[in-house]
Structure 1
Amino acid sequence: MKSRQDRLIAIAMIAPSLVLLAVFVYGFIGQTLFVSMSDWGRGAALAVNPELSFVGLDNFRELFTGFLDVRFRQDLVNMLAFSVLFVGGCLLVGLLLATLLEQGVRGEGFFRTVFLFPMSLSFIVTGTIWRWMLQPRGGVNVLPTLVGLPRIEFAWLTSRDQVWQWNWQDVPVILGVLAALACVVMAGRWWLAGGRKRAVAAGALAAAALAWTFTAATEIEVLPFPEYHGFNLALAGVVVAAVWQMSGYTMALFLAGLRGIPDELREAARVDGCSWWQLYRYVELPLLKPIIWSAVIILGHIALKSFDLVFVMAGPDNAATSVPAVSMYLTAFRGNQFAKGAAIAVVLLALVSVLIVPYLVSTFRSRGAE
């Protein structure tokens, strides 16, 4: 009787939070999904009681294959490139700083504070600072002149040069290859874990994905014309600013992880003849794997929904540095195409879900196994 009463009290305590979560999170997600499948656009955009018609996935089709939405597709490429460089840069710089501080350098507290300070700033402040520093006629570009070298001639935020160009027509082939690689990775993990049937099934899916990729996928016409996209070099300045701000966060995570490794493991590895590189490669890095994955998830989430840093540093109309969040803002609130803006929001939600949901499922499974 008492346990039942305790459960009722617990339910009553969390019910208001659940109601607020259902209304203001999942309710608005549902509303955004509904709007993304409607025709709420130019004609009915500012009407008091607009009459919306259901158009299905037409807005999504226009975003990915429409003639007028080439900027969204370039924004998507920019976001993916920014995410990879931002996450990779933060992990590398953070691990390097944590490794140096873990050696017990003098004044460690001071250096820890210096490296963590940028994290306390908002992206608005960071963007303003780095926009000044990356001006073509000042800031970083004139630093070499202090030692007698010529000034750097690079337009950090306005360059139109692209590298790693590829044709949007190849998207089906790229997706097929990525799906096959994912199946191969899962097959390898299940095989090593003893799940032979799952491994064989994943291998069969990988073979099927490759067969589809190099047969049917090559015949799919995404656009009636070639459309080339690539990594805009103007994004380099935004990546530098973002890594500068968040590398202190990864440093703190890695430093805590390194300090949590027992000294007995290090001593045993040294007794076995491990060099410093082997010690990091075979002892410390495997133990840091959970921290690495947590950092990847958090930083990836930040990168996918990045808006304020890009907006402040390069402005909303700079297509070379634009990302889908900026495109969503321009489409919905400047172009009054609320349905298409909602469709961009749904695409961002799907990308974030692809990143976070597998991590949450894996975490819950590991906790359940314990």
Structure 2
Amino acid sequence: MTVVAAPSERRQAVQRRRRRLKGDRLASVLVLVPSMIAIAVFVYVFVAWTMYTSVINWTGIVPDSTLVGFKNFARLFGDSRFLIDLRNLGLFSASFIVQCLVIGFALAALINSKIRIEGLFRTIFILPFAISPVVTGVIWHWLLDPQAGVNSLLRSAGLGFLANGWYTDSTWGILSVSVAAAWQMSGYVMALYLAGLRALPQELMEAAVMDGCGTWALYRRIVIPLLKPVTFSAVIITGMLSIKLFDLIASMTGSGPAFAEDTLGFNMYQLAFSSNRFSLSAAVAVVMILIATVLLVPHLMSVERKAKR
């Protein structure tokens, strides 16, 4: 025999459910409010303050709120060091991103091929990511020392003609820094690609193999196209790291000979804390924000398109 609840009982149950949902929403809001306040203050308020500082004439310890408009930006783009920093950013970003993508994908494909002691190799490859960039800079400063490290090994092996000036090269020294950065981040990119490879539909892969698709064709026509979202994410992450590069440079080379390894972040730091030119330093920070925005906008647009599907 089925017992049918009275209308009043049903209304009470609905009201209890609504009160429970309201309580859950209130609890969620209370949990999120501290984080929202912290983000508002320590991100957006300080970004706004940096933009304001970039258009005033603060050139000493004592703040000067005299508005000068875009004169600080005009000074920057007339400064040879800042232009070298932009060049270094382009060289470093291109080299660093390509190295991370190629090495990360190769390592992920290797691990995904069901090698023995996979866990050990995965740990070894991702271990550099857990090391502080400062420690990485100290290690690679010695490894790429023209009189020691790699060059010493090459000379001992009779391959002295391959010895290089590395970070002492006044033109291409920034590329040696990209090698150290790629060594640290390739394991992280490997983890991204490995997760993507493990998420691919196995039925599709097996069907391609049964149709006579070789390993190279399988990766070129199926695997790599399907991993485009992972590649896009990896480019965004490594690109953002390129823009804010500071600690690795500070511990590895400094600005280098003729600013060969100088970066926007290192220049910004020295303008503020060595020269007390806070407005120029803020202008550099605004340029970095704009470059990061250009990099992030395509990512945000793609996320929004996916959300609408």
TM-score normalized with structure 1 length? 0.74
* Equivalent in the alignment of 1:26: 44
Question: Which whole-Å CA distance do the structure 1 matches of 2:250 and 2:35 have between them?
Answer: 33
* Equivalent in the alignment of 2:80: 70
Tell me the alpha carbon deviations over residues 6-38 of structure 1, each in whole angstroms, 9 at most, x when there is no partner. 544443432232222211211111110000000
How many angstroms does 1:236 deviate by? Answer: 2.1
Aligned residues: 290
Question: Which whole-Å CA distance do the structure 2 matches of 1:7 and 1:100 have between them?
Answer: 46
Instruction: For 1:144-223, list aligned pairs within 5 A.
Output: 144-150=154-160, 152-160=162-170
**Pair 1:341-2:271 in alignment:** no
Please, which of 60, 67, 70 is the counterpart of residue 57 of structure 1? Answer: 70
Question: Which whole-Å CA distance do the structure 2 matches of 1:246 and 1:51 have between them?
Answer: 41
Structure 2: gaps spanning 5 or more residues: 1-17
The change in CA–CA distance for 1:105 and 1:146 in structure 2 (over 3 A counts) is: farther
Question: Which whole-Å CA distance do the structure 1 matches of 2:98 and 2:68 have between them?
Answer: 40
Question: Which whole-Å CA distance do the structure 2 matches of 1:21 and 1:341 have between them?
Answer: 22
Partner AA of 2:117 in structure 1:
G
The 8 Å contact of residues 307 and 326 in structure 1, kept in 2 or not, is answered as yes
How many angstroms does 1:293 deviate by? Answer: 1.0
How many angstroms does 1:247 deviate by? Answer: 0.6
Moved more, 343-352 or 135-144: 135-144
Higher helix share: 2
Question: Equivalent pairs: percent with the same residue?
Answer: 44
Please, which of 83, 90, 97 is the counterpart of residue 80 of structure 1? Answer: 90
Question: Which whole-Å CA distance do the structure 2 matches of 1:361 and 1:12 have between them?
Answer: 30
* Equivalent in the alignment of 2:106: 96
Question: Which whole-Å CA distance do the structure 2 matches of 1:337 and 1:352 have between them?
Answer: 23
Structure 1: gaps spanning 5 or more residues: 161-231
* Equivalent in the alignment of 2:214: 275
The 8 Å contact of residues 91 and 175 in structure 2, kept in 1 or not, is answered as no
**Pair 1:46-2:61 in alignment:** yes
TM-score normalized with structure 2 length? 0.89
Please, which of 285, 289, 292 is the counterpart of residue 352 of structure 1? Answer: 292
**Structure possessing the higher radius of gyration over alpha carbons:** 2
Instruction: For 1:196-275, list aligned pairs within 5 A.
Output: 232-275=171-214
* Equivalent in the alignment of 2:248: 309
| Secondary structure of the structure 2 residue equivalent to 1:157 | helix
Partner AA of 1:279 in structure 2:
L
Question: Which whole-Å CA distance do the structure 2 matches of 1:138 and 1:132 have between them?
Answer: 7
Instruction: For 1:92-131, list aligned pairs within 5 A.
Output: 92-131=102-141
Moved more, 140-149 or 340-349: 140-149
* Equivalent in the alignment of 1:324: 264
Question: Which whole-Å CA distance do the structure 2 matches of 1:77 and 1:150 have between them?
Answer: 30
Question: Which whole-Å CA distance do the structure 2 matches of 1:247 and 1:58 have between them?
Answer: 40
The change in CA–CA distance for 1:12 and 1:114 in structure 2 (over 3 A counts) is: closer
Please, which of 19, 22, 33 is the counterpart of residue 15 of structure 1? Answer: 33
* Equivalent in the alignment of 1:176: none
The 8 Å contact of residues 316 and 330 in structure 1, kept in 2 or not, is answered as no
Moved more, 286-295 or 10-19: 10-19
Partner AA of 2:134 in structure 1:
I
The 8 Å contact of residues 93 and 242 in structure 2, kept in 1 or not, is answered as yes
Question: Which whole-Å CA distance do the structure 2 matches of 1:19 and 1:137 have between them?
Answer: 52
* Equivalent in the alignment of 1:133: 143
How many angstroms does 1:237 deviate by? Answer: 1.4
* Equivalent in the alignment of 2:305: 365
Partner AA of 1:120 in structure 2:
A
Question: Which whole-Å CA distance do the structure 2 matches of 1:143 and 1:90 have between them?
Answer: 25
| Secondary structure of the structure 2 residue equivalent to 1:130 | helix
Question: Which whole-Å CA distance do the structure 2 matches of 1:143 and 1:87 have between them?
Answer: 27
How many angstroms does 1:338 deviate by? Answer: 0.4
Tell me the alpha carbon deviations over residues 24-83 of structure 1, each in whole angstroms, 9 at most, x when there is no partner. 211111110000000101xxx122xx331111111111211x2xx110111111012101
How many angstroms does 1:329 deviate by? Answer: 0.9
The change in CA–CA distance for 1:148 and 1:367 in structure 2 (over 3 A counts) is: same
Partner AA of 2:241 in structure 1:
I
Question: Which whole-Å CA distance do the structure 2 matches of 1:39 and 1:86 have between them?
Answer: 36
How many angstroms does 1:275 deviate by? Answer: 1.9
